[in-house]
A and B are shown apart, each in its own frame.
Chain A
Amino acid sequence: MNAIETKSLTKRYKTKTAVSELSLTVREGELFALLGVNGAGKTTTIRMLSCLSKPTSGECCVCGHNCQSEAAAVKNIVGISPQDTAVAENLTVLENMRLICGIYGYSPEKTKQRIDAMTSLFRMDEVANSRAKTLSGGWKRKLSIALALIAEPKVLFLDEPTLGLDVLARRELWSVVEELKGKITIVLTTHYMEEAEALSDRIAIMIDGSLAALGTLGELEAQSGESGLENTFVKIAAQFGKGA
Chain B
Amino acid sequence: MNKISAFSARNFKEIIRDPLSYIFCLGFPLVMLIIMTIINDGIPPQTGMTIFRIDNLAGGIAVFGLTFVMLFTCLNVAKDRSGAFLVRLYATPMRSGDFILGYVLPTLLLAVLQILITFAASFAVSLIVGVELNVLGLLLALLSLLPTAVMMIAFGLLFGTLFSEKAAPGLCSIVISLASFLGGVWFDADGLGGVMLKICEILPFYHAVKAARMASALEFDGYFPHLLITLAYCVVITAASVIVFKSKMKADLQ
Question: Is residue A78 within 8 Å, beta carbon to beta carbon, of the partner chain?
Answer: yes
> How distant is B194 from chain A, measured CB to nearest CB, in Å?
47
Query: Which residues of A from 78 to 94 have beta carbons under 8 Å from B?
Result: 78-80, 82-91
> How distant is B249 from chain A, measured CB to nearest CB, in Å?
11
B88 x A99 contact (CB < 8 A): no
Question: Is residue A235 within 8 Å, beta carbon to beta carbon, of the partner chain?
Answer: no
Q: How many A-B residue pairs have CB under 8 A?
A: 76
> How distant is B22 from chain A, measured CB to nearest CB, in Å?
14
A90 x B84 contact (CB < 8 A): no
A52 to B13, CA, bound (A): 27
What is the total number of residues of chain A having a CB less than 8 Å from a CB of chain B?
35
Which chain B residue shows the least CB distance to A82?
Answer: B84
Interface of chain B: mostly helix, strand, loop or mixed:
helix
Question: Is residue B46 within 8 Å, beta carbon to beta carbon, of the partner chain?
Answer: no
Contact flag A104-B10 (CB < 8 Å), given A86-B85, A86-B87: no
A88 x B84 contact (CB < 8 A): no
> How distant is B203 from chain A, measured CB to nearest CB, in Å?
34
B87 x A99 contact (CB < 8 A): no
A3 to B7, CA, bound (A): 30
Interface stretch (choices B89-97, B135-143, B169-177, B227-235): B89-97
B92 x A104 contact (CB < 8 A): yes
A85 to B253, CA, bound (A): 19
B254 x A53 contact (CB < 8 A): yes
Question: Is residue B5 within 8 Å, beta carbon to beta carbon, of the partner chain?
Answer: yes
A90 x B14 contact (CB < 8 A): yes
A102 x B88 contact (CB < 8 A): no
A151 to B89, CA, bound (A): 12
Which chain B residue shows the least CB distance to A147?
Answer: B88
> How distant is A179 from chain B, measured CB to nearest CB, in Å?
22
What is the total number of residues of chain B having a CB less than 8 Å from a CB of chain A?
24
Question: Is residue B221 within 8 Å, beta carbon to beta carbon, of the partner chain?
Answer: no
Query: Of the candidates A78, A83, A95, A105, which one forms a contact with B91 in the assembled complex, judged by CB atoms under 8 Å apart?
Result: A78
Chain B residues near A52: list those with CB within 8 A: 87, 90-91, 253
> How distant is A237 from chain B, measured CB to nearest CB, in Å?
28
Question: Is residue A227 within 8 Å, beta carbon to beta carbon, of the partner chain?
Answer: no
Which chain A residue shows the least CB distance to B15?
Answer: A90
Query: Of the candidates A53, A79, A89, A105, which one forms a contact with B253 in the assembled complex, judged by CB atoms under 8 Å apart?
Result: A53
Chain A residues near B92: list those with CB within 8 A: 75, 100, 103-104, 151
Question: Is residue A200 within 8 Å, beta carbon to beta carbon, of the partner chain?
Answer: no
Chain B residues near A50: list those with CB within 8 A: 91
Contact flag A82-B88 (CB < 8 Å), given A90-B17, A103-B6, A103-B7: yes
B253 x A102 contact (CB < 8 A): no
A103 x B13 contact (CB < 8 A): no
Question: Is residue A222 within 8 Å, beta carbon to beta carbon, of the partner chain?
Answer: no
Question: Is residue B198 within 8 Å, beta carbon to beta carbon, of the partner chain?
Answer: no
A80 x B91 contact (CB < 8 A): yes
B3 x A103 contact (CB < 8 A): yes
A83 to B90, CA, bound (A): 15
A88 to B83, CA, bound (A): 10
Chain A residues engaging chain B, CB cutoff 8 angstroms: 50-54, 72, 75-76, 78-80, 82-91, 95, 98-105, 131, 144, 147-148, 151
**List of 4 A-B pairs having minimum Cβ-Cβ separation, nearest first:** A102-B6, A86-B84, A84-B84, A86-B88
Chain B residues engaging chain A, CB cutoff 8 angstroms: 2-3, 5-7, 9-10, 13-14, 17-18, 83-85, 87-94, 253-254
